[in-house]
Structure 1
Amino acid sequence: MGPVRRLGLGRIGELERRSLGAAALAVGAVGLGCMPMSWAYSASQQRGDRALRTVHAALDAGVQLLDTADMYGPFTNELLVGRALKGRRSDAFVSTKCGLLVGDQHIVANGRPGYVRRACDASLRRLQTDVIDLYQLHRADPEVPVEETWGAMADLVTAGKVRALGLCAVGARASRRPGSRMYDETIRQLDRVQQVFPVSAVQAELSVWSPEALESLLPWCTARGVGLLAAMPLGNGYLTGTLTPGQGFEPDDLRARHPRFTAEMMAANQPVVVGLRRIAERHGATAAQVALAWVLRQGPHVVPVPGTKRERWAVENAGAAGLTLTPRDLAEIAGLPRAQGSWD
């Protein structure tokens, strides 16, 4: 078989749109996670000029949703996105987060209303924008009723500083109680805040090797028209097939401490990548595009948000929206072995 071509777009800027929440905010079907550009992944490969080119390449490809947070850096990621937005604000849907403070040794939650208001104003300054399209609560503060935090966030919508609200459930594994489903606590929080102000989107991990959100969280979102932003849809890069078992990670790279990225576990999970590559070859696509197409297939309000720091991958990821998986493809993905290695 000849070299695999990379599935592209019909034309620049042509990308399916998907809606988030009752406000029906439209975004491109594939988003861009900006965190790797300045935080948590391989500091030696983080370059501001390349990050700006990556954001612009994604926008040119029709990607709209740019996902960041004040804690990434902290603050440096929002500053970078703010620079990238100059002259391109109307092309972007800006999503950022509050609720976590980064210290020297720990990350702590802060859901006090006064903090939320100050955090929003600071994010607006760093992003160099008058409004945040989606403001997400990164984590609920166990010391503050989530309704109080959410009420302060709702006030930001009334003030015109924020267009819509979302909640992150990416840390659900850490708070999972014995005998419960992974997202039970998140759903309880969602039910509580929904009574205060409508939830437009929930961000949670969802990928071929981490499908747990399909069990209860996605049905909750689907029943209410709430968008699901699929975090880590490429398994922190593993599902791209570009990582090799035994390769080292820089000390600052979060994967250096993740159980699924030991040499043993990366080798054990190779059949997952092999299966994605087999499907990709039939479509003239890449393993990453198949993995993203599977996420897109989970529902019309699901938006994968793959993170990258490189132009090439940002454009390739956007191209996944043009890949339609067949029943045979979906059956093969369903038959792939479950990923090995605990995240707990």
Structure 2
Amino acid sequence: MNWAYTGSRQRGDESLRTVHRALDVGVTLLDTADMYGPFTNELLVGRVLKERRSEAFVSTKVGLLVGDQHIVANGRPGYVKRACDASLRRLQTDVIDLYQLHRADPEIPVEETWGAMADLVRAGKVRALGLCAVGARSARRSGARLHDATIRQLERVQQVFPVSAVEAELSVWSKEALDALLPWCAARGVGLLAAMPLGNGFLTGTLTPGEGFEPDDLRARHPRFTAEMMAANQPIVVGLRRIARRHGDEVTPAQVALAWLLAQGPHVVPVPGAKRARWVAENATAAGLRLTARDLADVAALPAARGSWD
């Protein structure tokens, strides 16, 4: 679910059609968060779930509050429990399949927050718990290995209640999770939800270097989406398009990027956002695309993405 891109173009009816289309083509995971909007994305998903709850696996998140000027973390146990009840109302369901901690609150021991979330499982309001990758930006600034902070947090909360899934950025142009986080998950039977699997839209090949973004689109202020950096990273899209052509004229770079993620293991689940029903259908088709050993080798040989990701 996109909440940070071209919000002025989002329309309720089209968004509803998109979610319905996702279920129609076999997508089952609907991933959202209370901060998306804030709240409006959960309300949208809830309108669909009211009619089709049995067809969906619902994931939402807690722990971030959107203010006028910034986003703050809140991991206080009382708040977590109230936020869960509010999400259940907005989603029009009596249980959340996967409840994720969006970010740990630096002022609250993560074990306390996780304990409150575990109470929600015991109360029957939540079925499983997940954690969004943390510490990536601080790791980049300090030079520490990416995702080490996340693994440390995972090991702490595992002592309180089992982790069922981790949501972390993973894509053709952001592969750091392959180094340690993905092996950690695989060894423990923990699912990895690959966030931003299409590189915030860049890997679709539909963005033109130098094209403007609306002021409320986060990419308008993103260092990797300047005209210079988008031009510098075009060889990545060119490589994906070359692979796509081997599989037919209708195959797209986006589908190759998603198929590459699926090839990383059965516990990897991409979570692409989509504002249009046709994009949902295109993304879903990637599940049937089988990349060859040559394809995978060519993806591995693509140049590293240029430009800061902070």
TM-score over 0.5 for the pair: yes
1:290 aligns with 256
CA distance in 2, matches of 1:216, 1:209: 17
Matches within 5 A, 1:29-108: 34=1, 36=2, 39-108=3-72
Deviations 1:305-329 (A, max 9, x none): 0001100010110110100000110
Q: Tell me, in whole angstroms, the C-alpha distance in 2 between the residues paired with 1:244 and 1:170.
A: 31
Q: Which residue of 2 aligns with 1:18?
A: none
The CA deviation at 1:44 is 2.5
Matches of residues 189-268 of structure 1 in structure 2 within 5 Å? 189-268=153-232
Distance (whole Å) between structure 1 residues aligned to residue 209 and residue 57 of structure 2: 36
* Letter matched to residue 88 of structure 2: L
SS class of match (2:69): coil
Deviation at 1:45, TM superposition (A): 1.5
TM-score by length of 1: 0.88
Whether 1:321 and 2:287 are equivalent positions in the alignment is yes
Structure 1: how far apart are the matches of 2:239 and 2:127? 41
Query: Taking structure 2 as the reference length, what is the TM-score of the superposition?
Result: 0.98
Alignment partner, residue 181 of structure 1: 145
Q: CA deviation at 1:343?
A: 1.1
* 1:117 alignment counterpart: 81
Counterparts of 1:321 and 1:184, CA distance in 2: 30
Residue pair 1:170, 1:203 contacting (<8 A) in 2 also: no
- For residue 172 of structure 1, report the CA deviation from its aligned partner: 1.9
Match of 2:275 in 1: 309
Letter of the aligned partner of 2:234 in structure 1? Q
Structure 2 distance, partners of 1:289, 1:112, is 40
Residue pair 1:50, 1:310 contacting (<8 A) in 2 also: yes
Deviation at 1:180, TM superposition (A): 1.4
* Per-residue deviation, 1:176: 4.3
Amino acid at match of 2:302: L
CA distance in 2, matches of 1:115, 1:297: 39
CA contact (8 A) 2:139 2:145 kept: no
Report SS of the residue matched to 2:59.
strand
Name 2:103's counterpart in structure 1.
139
Task: Report the Cα distance in structure 2 between the residues aligned to 1:96 and 1:171, rounded to whole angstroms.
Answer: 20
**1:278 is matched with which residue?**
242
| Matched residue SS, 2:78 | helix
Counterpart selection for 1:300 from 253, 259, 266: 266
| Cα contact 1:170–1:205 (8 A) shared by 2 | no
Q: Note closer, same or farther for the CA distance 1:171–1:235 as it changes in structure 2 (3 Å cut).
A: farther
User: By how many angstroms is 1:175 displaced?
Assistant: 5.0
Task: Check conservation: 1:133, 1:164, Cα contact below 8 A.
Answer: yes
Distance 2:8 2:144 in 1: 40
Q: Structure 2: which amino acid aligns with 1:52? A: L
**How many angstroms does 1:87 deviate by?**
1.3
Distance of 1:92 and 1:135 partners within structure 2: 14
Higher relative contact order (CA 8 A, sep 6+): 1
Q: Which has the larger share of helix? A: 2
Q: For the Cα contact (< 8 Å) 1:95–1:134, is it kept in 2?
A: yes
Determine the C-alpha separation between the residues in 2 that align with 1:121 and 1:321.
Answer: 34
Which digits, 9 at most, give the CA deviation of each residue in 1:175-208, with x for residues without a partner?
5462411101110000000011000000000000
- Three-state SS of the structure 1 residue aligned to 2:33 is coil
| One-letter code aligned to 2:221 | R
CA separation in 2, counterparts of 1:84 and 1:267?
39
| Cα 1:125/1:175, change in 2 over 3 Å | farther
* Aligned counterparts of 1:269 and 1:301: Cα–Cα separation in 2: 29
Aligned length: 308
User: Which structure 2 residues correspond to residues 144-159 of structure 1 after superposition, within 5 A?
Assistant: 144-159=108-123
Kindly indicate whether the alpha-carbon contact (under 8 Å) linking 1:55 and 1:84 is maintained by their aligned counterparts in 2. Answer: yes
Aligned-pair CA distance for 1:298: 0.9
Q: Any idea what SS the aligned residue of 2:51 has? A: coil
Decide whether the 8 Å contact of 1:67 with 1:94 is kept in 2: yes
Match of 2:300 in 1: 334
Structure 1 position 86, deviation (Å): 2.1
Structure 1 unaligned blocks of 5 or more: 1-33
CA pair 209-343 structure 1, distance change in 2 beyond 3 A: same
Identity of aligned residues (%): 84
Q: CA deviation at 1:108?
A: 0.5
